[in-house]
Amino acid sequence: MSIRIGVPHISRRKKYPASAAEGDFRYNNSEHGFMIIVIGTIFKPSKAKYRSKRWLPQITRKEIWQEIILHVEFMKDLYPKSNGRLCRYCHQPWTYLTRRKRAGTLKPRKRGPTHKTNFTIDRFDPEFTYLPGNLIFCCNACNDRKHDSTPADWKNFIRVEKERNEKT
C-alpha cells in the first residue's frame, strides 16, 4: 500500500466503523481476546489509582498465562473428556461472551449484569494481591458468590454448619 503525498490517509477502522466493530466483537468473544481483556483489567492504570500499593499485582501477564495453562492441565486430569477450561469451584465450563459495542466507541451499548458463565480471575485469599499461587480461574457466578470471603471465613461457615447439624 502506498500513501500519496498531500492526500490524508484514512484508516480502514475510521472508514468502515461498523465493519471494525464487528471484527472487534468477534475477537473479544474468542477465547484469546476475552482472556486478554480479563488479564488486562488486573493491570489497568485507572484501577490502580484506587488501590493501595499493597494491592498492585505482584505477577506478570506471562506468569498469569502460565498459571492458566497449569489450571487447564489440572482440570483435564480431573475431567479427561473436557478441554480443561472449567471453573475451579463448580467445575462447569466457562464462556467468553461480551456485549456489542457502539460503532466507533469502546463503550458497551448497555449496562447490566455480565454473563454468569464467563471466565474470570479470582484471588483465592482476598487479603493478598494478584500473585502466583493466589489466582483461581473460575466463572463469574462463583466469583460473585465468593466475593471477599477469606479461607478463615470458610472455616467459620463450616464450624457453624457442623454446630447446627449437631443440634438436630
Q: Is residue 8 part of a domain?
A: no
Mean pLDDT of 36-55: 74
Domain at 40, CATH number: 3.30.40
pLDDT of residue 35: 95
Full domain range(s) for residue 24: 14-167
Q: Is residue 109 part of a domain?
A: yes
CA–CA dist 158, 146 (Å, integer): 14
Q: Which of 148, 158, 99 is nearest to 123 (CA)?
A: 148
CA–CA dist 136, 134 (Å, integer): 7
Q: Is residue 82 part of a domain?
A: yes
Q: Is residue 93 part of a domain?
A: yes
> Residue 112: pLDDT band by 50, 70, 90 thresholds?
low
Q: Is residue 1 part of a domain?
A: no
Q: What is the mean pLDDT of the chain?
A: 84
Which tens digits make up the pLDDT trace of 62-95? Answer: 999 999 999 999 999 999 999 999 999 999 999 9
pLDDT of residue 1: 52
Q: What is the dihedral of CA 35, 26, 12, 41, to 10 degrees?
A: -20
Does the structure show a pLDDT above 70 at 109? Answer: no
The count of domains in the chain is 1
Q: Is residue 5 part of a domain?
A: no
Q: Check if the beta carbon of residue 95 is closer than 8 Å to that of residue 115.
A: yes
Which class for 75: exposed (0-12), middle (13-18), buried (19 or more C-beta within 10 A)? buried
Does the structure show a pLDDT above 90 at 118? Answer: yes
Does the structure show a pLDDT above 70 at 54? Answer: no
Q: Which of 15-19, 52-56, 98-102, 133-137 has the lowest mean pLDDT?
A: 52-56
Q: Is residue 29 part of a domain?
A: yes
Mean pLDDT of 110-135: 86
pLDDT of residue 15: 80
- Between helix 31-42 and helix 61-78 the angle, nearest 10°, is 130
